[in-house]
Structure 1
Amino acid sequence: MTPIARRGALGRLALVALLAPTGCMAGVPAGPVPAAATDADGPIPSGYGTLRQDDITIELVDGPVRVRITPLESSLIRLTAPDTEQRLRALRERAAPDGAVWFLVSVQTEAPGGADFDPMAVEAASVGIPQRPAEIRGLTPQWGSGRLEQRVPQQALYRFPGDIDPWRSLEVRVGEMRSRSWTDRLPQLDAERARVRARAGGGYWSSPNFLILR
């Protein structure tokens, strides 16, 4: 084989290696990218968010009990970093394969000897009067016992009746405590949503057989 022919063959092999399905590039989610969740402004791609779970979580303190509430709304989850998105999406799909909006509720106490906690004390609403949960699915063995042990977190999935839309507003109550802090987060969430679309639109796209660099 002549030197020129050899260089041509090596170039073709390099191109095949670049397009091989086993290849992976930094910044691209490994494997098939799930279909994009949508909101009022169109699809939100998966795998491009940077937010932490804390950034989409409301925290309240009711006496000795700390309660953390995370909306498991699909387009909201896609704003979080890939590992967090994967974990929260798994919880959402476990609770809501039909697309209903659920919430992850985590409770804990630092009080010596523990503290009482009524699972029905958690209420939520987007517009109007906060409502009690329509369905609760415990994730930890002691959930629903009415008692928390010191520094032992308990978790459950909550579904509330009515039309709750975290992109509009979200108010939560636990006992006598009330939080409307979610409204202050909406500008940050809107900004991250725009950045996610920009990253996806100017970066990589996935096909069933290979990755294409735009």
Structure 2
Amino acid sequence: MSEKVVLHYFNGRGKMESIRWLLAAAGVEFEEVFMTKREHYVKLLDDGALMFQQVPLVEIDGMQLVQSRAIMNYIAGKYNLYGKDLKERALIDMYTEGTSDLMDIIIMYYFTSENKQKQLSNIEQKAKERFLPVFEKGLANSDFLVGNQLSRADVHLLEATLMLQEIFPTILSTFPKIQAFQERMKALPRISKFLQPGSARKPPTDEVYVKTVKEVFSHIFK
């Protein structure tokens, strides 16, 4: 197994994008192997690389890690992005789960054909009423969501809010603390590098990506 970190996923965001963000924030270089055909997925299954028959799959430190939360927990713990103690870790986990819930509803928007406008309205309402106020309050008296240093919670929040702005450009207009937070985060050298053209950051989901995912996972999308 390669000593380098290797990511196995599609050439798109999905569940792997938050892992890419976290590795970038930690300054870890990685390689990517993209699944473009069902045969690629079947080979991973046949090789016994997918514990629960699911991707993302990350090869790191001689392990084949699956389940996105487990992968990010490992990366955050290894690279000092998980707080200074168990209490901070619990807070980080709560914020992280919140951003994950928000990003999940955005991701699913691209994979369902039901009333698109209704879905967009639902995403916007939940973001404004359920999620963003929590993060705005969390940043009221600190540059970071938890403690006095960068954590995975901050990285995930930046990713989530940038995703929101791609769909709703003015959604942060009433959340000045989050706006200021974004600017601070974007100024961090590792984050700035990841935001530049040509980085491993993936563009918004498009029809080609959706089609590829549905073809590879044809047993799910019947």
Q: TM-score, normalised by structure 2?
A: 0.26
Greater radius of gyration (CA): 1
TM-score by length of 1: 0.27
Higher share in strand: 1
